[in-house]
Structure 1
Amino acid sequence: MPAKRAHDAPTTPNKRQKGKQARIDTFFSSPRTPVRAPAASPPSPEVIIIDGPDDTTDSPKAGPSTAPSHAPPPAPSSRTFSLKSSHAALSYPSLTTDALTFDVLQVSAQWTPGAPVPYSFLAHTLKSVSETRSRIAITNALTNCLRVVAQHHPASLLPAVYLLSNTVAPSYVPVELGLGASISKSIQQISGLSSGALRDLYNNLGDVGDVAFAAKSKVRTLIPHPPLLVTGVYQSLLAISRCKGQGAVKEKQKIVEKLLIASKDEETRFLARTLTQNLRVGAVRTTILTALSRAFVLTSRSDGRQSGMHAPAVLLASVKTLASPSKSQKKPAVDDAREQIIELFDRAEGLVKQVYVRHPCYEDIIAALLKDGLDGLEQHVSLAVGIPLMPTLGSPTRSLDEVFNILQDHPFAAELKYDGQRAQIHGQRNDEGRLVVHIFSRHLENMTTKYPDVVHMFQSMCGEATGASSFIMDSEIVALDPSTGALKTFQELSNRARKDVQLGDVRVAVGVFAFDLMYLDGQELIGLPFRERRAMLNSQFLAFVPEEKGIARFSHVECCDSQLGRDAIEEFMVKATESRCEGLMIKLLDSCEVEERDAKKAKTRRKPFPATYEPDKRTAAWLKLKKDYITGLGDSFDLVPVGAWHGNGRKAKWWSPILLALRAADGELVAVCKCMSGFTDAFYKGLNDRYSLNDESTTSSRQPLWGGEFGGFKPDVYFRPHEVWEVRVADVTISPVSLAAKGLVSQARGLSLRFPRYIKTREDKGIEQVMTAGELARVYEQQEARGRHDGGNDEGDLLDVDIDGSVPASESDST
């Protein structure tokens, strides 16, 4: 007869259960005073207290020593926290109510004044967000949450924002949890379930958070544990990320078990999801920034000074009457108060988002907001060397005719669009005069250790006596023939190791092709027109071919200005199509206004076209003319694999076809088409390895764990969205299956892609940068205007065959 599991135990504990509980409590009861580690080494995870360290002077930092440190403020002592009734259950109101009428004191009145915020409140917020698809309700819940945290305990605000945004540190700080199977082992350890019972739970529930909640629901502790705190949970995540070397797996598992043992109810569910970095809530970056800005609009300044961006105290008082105004109060007065606050919301959102795309560091932004509020944000948080700004993006165009039609007779530069990896390069001299270089990817990940040859090249170019003292440069890193300097393909570049490369181990030579300069010697340049930025780039940084072998080359992108005439631009376009380049980038040289005709109103209007550097914007001042468009070989789109079906025939052992998705306006991924062409056998094998369907997989599931809209597509397996694939298609078509761009072209149906064919994996892009529904709708409308649509509706039932055969491994095998 099988032994009873812990969750099958009777209410009255027997000797065996008491012994097990004693072991659990002994395991959990670590010393309350942390041991100080030597200054040269980080604190040992052994002494991490999950609800916040007592000593606030040795709070560990998240960032590396060579880059700006972005750690949370020191966590206050957990001993200061107590509920007004010991171990009482907290009851929280609905957070999705209108932020203008929400009562902050209704929440914080349950807590000791000035004490850290309990994690149960954050779990309640995440539960509120996960239970609705309404963008308004999600924004209200996050706004109300952040407002409560900011007013009750400001030191908890930064950890709360990180936990709500499903991150641990800025993207450019290499902090990883790397838990793998430790989570399932921890759940099994604290619940007493067998591995088979745990597997059955997962097969039934399909989500690690739900599994943890169910597994722990019947576990009882004889000694109540202190409540989890927001600051403590976040510090525990940092402790997990610091576990390295021998014994790291066990140390991580011990911290996870401590967290799960102390968690209660919904805390368990969202802790498990946080540990797997899959919160399953519909809160994207823009929503977090919106909520943060609104929370500070509704929060009076602590120093009592008047502010132009914060709602005045009188207006805040009148907000209380908005929900149910008295009979004596006139409705116009209520509407006027609401309009005033909404206007403040709009101004604050624009400011916070503008600051974030230039300086994407929550620590610096929140510190400035807590110190001087919204008014001083732009002055305190600006461009900084070592913190990457979000890149400007190009808008796709299809022909030179379209380019000239958009830009009219305004001067522009046509640049070769190299087939490499976009790189934002930062340089700054240290106190000894040596240039310190950081290299960031398109999605802001630090890849300095991937390119030691580029770092060495800049240090050689900018000697101690010459060159810039600080700069931020936009460029493309391309694989080169080391002897001739001839361009090589992106696939050659992808053969380099991704991190911790030693200079002597470089096997693929590269060149840096610079095309923009955003910062130079302490001066921000992004507000200058492109003509001036380019002139400063060309004069300050000259082409460089090193004598030393194994060092990267430096050059500027090859370009042709429109002042040379249309014939010269057309010849340059032909050169781009015949070379190993992706096509052309068309960039407006000077800010201007263009005339744009409004077909619906039958009139023209003047539209401003800024030639400034616009972080995180797909601007019409940068137009992308890819080779695929020029040669008429079909359109190329960047999409995300989100699912697959079991293959048939020869492909029965592989995933085929693959379901691809694009991004909706609210940031959610929406399935758009199946792809089954352009793959080699080696690629299929690598795909199976990356998305293996087993009990410990964190990348695939039979349930849709990672959100998204799938419409009529019902794949056999769902993928965790994290890759970006470039796909060439023949046509865009109306589809009864896809929900992509539904309502933009047709109110009843979405759009899909006909005959998609895999080209390559875009390692230089993140899933936030894939094609949007709005862009797909524009492509369809332009296609219809040219009469290119010659296919029927995509019914989503394409045969599992390669339309035009396979392609060489060098072109399609990204594994």
Structure 2
Amino acid sequence: MFSLGTRASVSAASPEATVSTQYETLSADPLTFPINKQPWPKEKPAPYAFLVHALVTLSDTRSRIAIINTLTNTLRTLLRYHPSSLLPALYLLSNSLSPPYSPIELGIGGSLISKAIQHVSGLTPAALKRLYNKSGDVGDVAFEAKSNVRTLVPHPPLLISSVYDLLLNIAHAKGQGAAKQKQAVVEKLLVAAKGEEVRFLVRTLSMNLRVGAVRSSILTALARAMVLSPPSGVAASIPYDSPFFAHPDLVTSVKPVSTEGKKKIHDPSRDEVLVKYASAEAVIKKVFVQHPNYDHIVAGLFEGGLDGLSERVPLTIGIPLHPTLGSPTRSLDEIYDRLSDLPYTAEFKYDGQRAQIHGSRTTEGTPSVQIFSRHLENMTQKYPDVVLLFRYLFTTLPELQSFILDSEIVAIDPSSGSLKSFQELSNRARKDVKIQDVEVSVCVYVFDLMYMDGEVLLERPFRERRALLRSQFIPVVPKDPGAARLDHVESCESEMGRDCIEEFWMKAVESRCEGLMIKLLDSGEVQETNPSQKDKNRRKPLPATYEPDKRNSAWLKLKKDYVTGIGDSLDLVPIGAWYGNGRKAGWWSPILLAVRDSSNDNLVALCKCMSGFSDTFYKEVTARYSEVSENCSQQPLWECAIGGFKPDVYFRPHEVWEIRGADITLSPVSSAAFGLISSTRGLSLRFPRFIRVREDKSLQDVSSSEFLAQMCRDQQGKGIKSEGVDDGDLVDVYVEDEHIEDEDSDILLAQ
């Protein structure tokens, strides 16, 4: 892993060991934060040390309030004193260099980073290896390796903008000699970095910042920063009573929050600012989920602030919007209860890959087609047969100019059109696929239309969007054998009666589908599910509009595998394991899985799993998490709350697995969702069973503790008890089946 390089001069203590500039406490209340105090020399660009100060503050807290305060004060300081650093700071804080649909990848591995650290620090490969075994974090290794390095010639301070630009240089280095070019840039950054800058610079290079700043927190902070400190050019044109601007006079009149006593002092000025916060956050988040591009959003903010931002940064062909999400249900009875008498449609939930398809005619009239995944990744190159299909549609629909539609790409038998499994679809290559190399035929089942010929359709009810979709995009079986097919999802309407719905459900159960999607056709009102005593007759609106990045009862999913179990599968992260016994000696079994803590975005251990794995998969996991790899350690190196579990080894969190279970149970061992259902116990999953690795999901998509708690509440609402056994003392036993273990092979002992 490490190679020998030139030694550098080292000393017992280095003047570069710490960042000399002292900054204000960024986690302070933004309404009392001393924004008028210049944090660095006037007329100077924003130093990277300032951003690192923010990252250090973020890494030292798990409080959501402190995280948002820190981000807000960081961004508003940049807006005030160096606005051009705002955009690169947003990308660096979000641990990315570009939007997800046009990713700019650094293209560097651990070996290159290790060589650069060694070359700059002068340490031997063995010394660096010892440091890594001690800490397990490459940022900590770099910090310690360089802490004693002394350079003869002082280097100018790193700037936020220059660090971002150099990272882009690394990403754009291509061709012969690219590896040497990348390493040279990394070494240049390491030599110039001081103190904590080294740690977070290397974490950025490794794409693992290890701070609790997630997208929602960054967007919240950006909105609040614009309310308090809009760019000077924008502030001059904002009216005093703007719902998106807190005038300095208003901010000055806000009273500091008292830390003494429990009595809350009413402060009308603070309340007014909080209302402006909420308005600004709603605007920023709505724009982002429809147009997830910081470059365009920042440009729109600098042009005119929050007022009219949605018009300046609209839904755009070629930029994927976040998809609407379905809420899990356990039965048709639950669906009847949730939707009451509101009209809905039941659609087959196909076992394929969700695809958002954008099509338009260029100025020359040539059709352009782009395909995006559920995670907004551009997968156009993966499906040349789908591109061919929609180019054909443009030739048959001369009036069609542009569209954005939602669909599921499903593997089919090319001769009969019958459905195949997701595993068949996953066998397709992912990049640079040539049409002649396609071996797995697909059908595109379209189910929603969000944009058509320049008109945004998100606010229209689903009944109208679906009617337009069906009238404009009729089923197609192209003559070209290389092209994909087009069809509408098979569906059944609630107006046809419950008998028809239940018959349709049985058809879904007997098919290769995962189950049903239930979608509200027209907006209406439903009974509040958990009303208070005072509001027991309260009703809430339920829109049938397309709601990007939201889950509500307008879209419900009923999976056939969970009708007698929990309402949905969970997306969990493997974070540890035990040594296997008996036949599975030499493999990891069972494996410890974690959910995401909603309050701080950290991972929390949920349950052990040893069911659903094939022997082949066991071998693959054991190889992937080998004890000599960077993915495995006997010490808890990664930020995960283990609770009462004591695994033999710990895994580096980087994969997402889909897991099914029988039900949710209270656990004396797990701390997942602690306090959300019980004040003394966390939640666990009984009889967890592995389904598949979710390569289409990142750690940001892991099921949250709040989602887990809601599943538990739904379970309790059906009269299913949450007490009883969990898997705290799961025992690994011999199973005769050498291929797939059965759920009954799990032994769960009561605590």
**Matching residue's letter, 2:323:** P
Residues 145 and 702 (structure 1), Cα distance of their counterparts in 2 relative to 1, 3 Å cut: farther
Could you say which residue in structure 1 is the equivalent of 2:306?
374
| 1:495-514 alignment runs, 5 A limit | 495-514=427-446
Say if 2:128 is the partner of 1:198.
yes
Q: Distance in 1 between matches of 2:545 and 2:5?
A: 70
2:556 to 607, 623, 626: 623
- CA contact 2:7–2:122 (8 Å) conserved in 1: yes
Could you say which residue in structure 1 is the equivalent of 2:270?
338
1:608 to 532, 536, 541: 541
**Matching residue's letter, 1:125:** A
- CA contact 1:481–1:509 (8 Å) conserved in 2: yes
Say if 2:191 is the partner of 1:261.
yes
Could you say which residue in structure 2 is the equivalent of 1:517?
449
Q: Secondary structure at the match of 2:612?
A: coil
Could you say which residue in structure 1 is the equivalent of 2:83?
154
1:105 to 36, 41, 51: 36
Say if 2:321 is the partner of 1:395.
no
Q: Secondary structure at the match of 1:366?
A: helix
Report the CA distance between 1:807 and its aligned residue. Answer: 5.4
**Matching residue's letter, 1:312:** H
**Matching residue's letter, 2:560:** K
| 1:409-488 alignment runs, 5 A limit | 409-463=341-395, 466=398, 468-488=400-420
Specify every segment of 5 or more residues in structure 2 that has no aligned partner in the other structure, as ranges.
742-751
CA RMSD of aligned residues (A): 2.6
Q: Distance in 2 between matches of 1:10 and 1:671?
A: 41
Residues 632 and 703 (structure 1), Cα distance of their counterparts in 2 relative to 1, 3 Å cut: closer
Report the CA distance between 1:635 and its aligned residue. Answer: 5.7
1:351-380, Cα deviation, whole Å (9 max, x unpaired) = 111111111111111111122111121221
Residues 520 and 706 (structure 1), Cα distance of their counterparts in 2 relative to 1, 3 Å cut: farther
Q: Distance in 2 between matches of 1:685 and 1:107?
A: 57
Say if 2:576 is the partner of 1:643.
yes
Q: Distance in 1 between matches of 2:12 and 2:537?
A: 78
Q: Distance in 2 between matches of 1:298 and 1:589?
A: 41
Q: Distance in 2 between matches of 1:709 and 1:393?
A: 28
Could you say which residue in structure 1 is the equivalent of 2:604?
670
Q: Distance in 2 between matches of 1:599 and 1:299?
A: 39
Residues 743 and 503 (structure 1), Cα distance of their counterparts in 2 relative to 1, 3 Å cut: same
- CA contact 1:634–1:728 (8 Å) conserved in 2: no
**Matching residue's letter, 1:173:** S
Report the CA distance between 1:434 and its aligned residue. Answer: 1.3
Report the CA distance between 1:306 and its aligned residue. Answer: 2.9
1:209 to 139, 154, 170: 139
Could you say which residue in structure 1 is the equivalent of 2:744?
none
Residues 130 and 438 (structure 1), Cα distance of their counterparts in 2 relative to 1, 3 Å cut: same
- CA contact 1:663–1:771 (8 Å) conserved in 2: yes
1:318 to 239, 253, 256: 253
Q: Distance in 2 between matches of 1:172 and 1:426?
A: 12
Q: Secondary structure at the match of 2:301?
A: helix
- CA contact 1:662–1:671 (8 Å) conserved in 2: yes
Could you say which residue in structure 1 is the equivalent of 2:729?
797
Count of aligned pairs: 724
Could you say which residue in structure 1 is the equivalent of 2:292?
360
**Stretch of structure 1 that moved more, 293-302 or 217-226:** 293-302
Report the CA distance between 1:246 and its aligned residue. Answer: 2.9
Q: Secondary structure at the match of 2:369?
A: strand
Q: Secondary structure at the match of 2:37?
A: helix
- CA contact 1:724–1:765 (8 Å) conserved in 2: yes
**Stretch of structure 1 that moved more, 245-254 or 500-509:** 245-254
Q: Distance in 1 between matches of 2:330 and 2:399?
A: 40
Could you say which residue in structure 2 is the equivalent of 1:282?
212
Q: Distance in 2 between matches of 1:324 and 1:773?
A: 31
- CA contact 1:422–1:764 (8 Å) conserved in 2: no
Could you say which residue in structure 2 is the equivalent of 1:491?
423
Residues 136 and 10 (structure 1), Cα distance of their counterparts in 2 relative to 1, 3 Å cut: closer
**Matching residue's letter, 1:659:** L
**Stretch of structure 1 that moved more, 286-295 or 643-652:** 643-652
Could you say which residue in structure 1 is the equivalent of 2:153?
223
Residues 783 and 315 (structure 1), Cα distance of their counterparts in 2 relative to 1, 3 Å cut: closer
Residues 805 and 355 (structure 1), Cα distance of their counterparts in 2 relative to 1, 3 Å cut: farther
Could you say which residue in structure 2 is the equivalent of 1:759?
691
1:139 to 54, 57, 68: 68
Residues 467 and 727 (structure 1), Cα distance of their counterparts in 2 relative to 1, 3 Å cut: farther
Report the CA distance between 1:312 and its aligned residue. Answer: 1.5
1:743-784, Cα deviation, whole Å (9 max, x unpaired) = 121101001011211112223333333333233223323334
Say if 2:644 is the partner of 1:691.
no
**Matching residue's letter, 1:792:** G
**Stretch of structure 1 that moved more, 785-794 or 469-478:** 785-794
1:292 to 198, 222, 234: 222
2:496 to 564, 577, 597: 564
1:538 to 470, 486, 498: 470
- CA contact 2:575–2:592 (8 Å) conserved in 1: yes
Could you say which residue in structure 2 is the equivalent of 1:659?
592
Q: Secondary structure at the match of 2:620?
A: helix
Residues 493 and 354 (structure 1), Cα distance of their counterparts in 2 relative to 1, 3 Å cut: same
1:232 to 154, 162, 166: 162
- CA contact 2:13–2:147 (8 Å) conserved in 1: no
TM-score by length of 1: 0.85
Q: Secondary structure at the match of 1:758?
A: strand
Q: Secondary structure at the match of 1:460?
A: helix
1:576 to 481, 490, 508: 508
Q: Distance in 2 between matches of 1:100 and 1:379?
A: 29
Residues 597 and 204 (structure 1), Cα distance of their counterparts in 2 relative to 1, 3 Å cut: closer
Q: Distance in 2 between matches of 1:751 and 1:344?
A: 37
Q: Distance in 2 between matches of 1:335 and 1:781?
A: 36
- Identical counterparts, % of pairs: 58
Report the CA distance between 1:318 and its aligned residue. Answer: 3.2
**Matching residue's letter, 1:510:** V
**Stretch of structure 1 that moved more, 640-649 or 514-523:** 640-649
- CA contact 1:644–1:659 (8 Å) conserved in 2: yes
1:643-691, Cα deviation, whole Å (9 max, x unpaired) = 2233233323222221112223233322211111111121122223433
1:335-365, Cα deviation, whole Å (9 max, x unpaired) = 2222211111111111111111111111111
Say if 2:105 is the partner of 1:176.
yes
Could you say which residue in structure 1 is the equivalent of 2:639?
707
Could you say which residue in structure 2 is the equivalent of 1:72?
none
**Matching residue's letter, 2:563:** I
- CA contact 2:685–2:727 (8 Å) conserved in 1: no
Q: Secondary structure at the match of 1:105?
A: coil
**Matching residue's letter, 2:193:** S
**Matching residue's letter, 1:398:** R
Q: Distance in 2 between matches of 1:421 and 1:729?
A: 23
Q: Distance in 1 between matches of 2:474 and 2:360?
A: 18
Could you say which residue in structure 1 is the equivalent of 2:747?
none
Could you say which residue in structure 2 is the equivalent of 1:272?
202
Q: Distance in 2 between matches of 1:359 and 1:267?
A: 32
1:258-297, Cα deviation, whole Å (9 max, x unpaired) = 1001100110010011111111111111111111111111
Q: Secondary structure at the match of 2:349?
A: strand
Q: Secondary structure at the match of 1:437?
A: strand
**Matching residue's letter, 1:238:** L
TM-score by length of 2: 0.92
Q: Distance in 2 between matches of 1:710 and 1:240?
A: 37
